Amino acid sequence: MAGQAWKYSGNLDERDLAFLQHEFITIPMAIDYYGYSDRPLTRLAKEAGAFYKIGKMTRINRKTFDAFLREQRKIPRIGGKLCAKS
Measured CA to CA, the distance from residue 16 to residue 78 in angstroms comes to 8
Answer whether residue 35 is part of any domain.
Answer: yes
Of 79, 16, 15, the closest CA to residue 3 belongs to 16
pLDDT of 24 reads 92
What pLDDT is stored for residue 76 in this prediction? 56
Domain that holds residue 67: 14-72
Whether 25 is covered by a domain: the verdict is yes
Does residue 79 sit within a domain?
A: no
Within 10 angstroms of residue 28's Cβ, the number of other Cβ atoms is 9
Total domain count, the chain: 1
Whether the predicted pLDDT of 1 surpasses 50: no
Determine, yes or no, domain membership for 40. Answer: yes
Q: Using a cut of 0.75, tell me whether the model's pTM lies above it.
A: no
Residue 65: C-alpha distances to residues 8, 23, 32, 52, 71 (Å):
18, 10, 15, 12, 10
No. of helices (H) and no. of strands (E), the chain: 4, 3
Q: What is the pLDDT of residues 26-82, one digit of tens each?
A: 999 898 888 889 999 999 999 999 999 999 999 999 999 988 988 886 555 555 555
Q: What is the pLDDT of residue 86?
A: 46
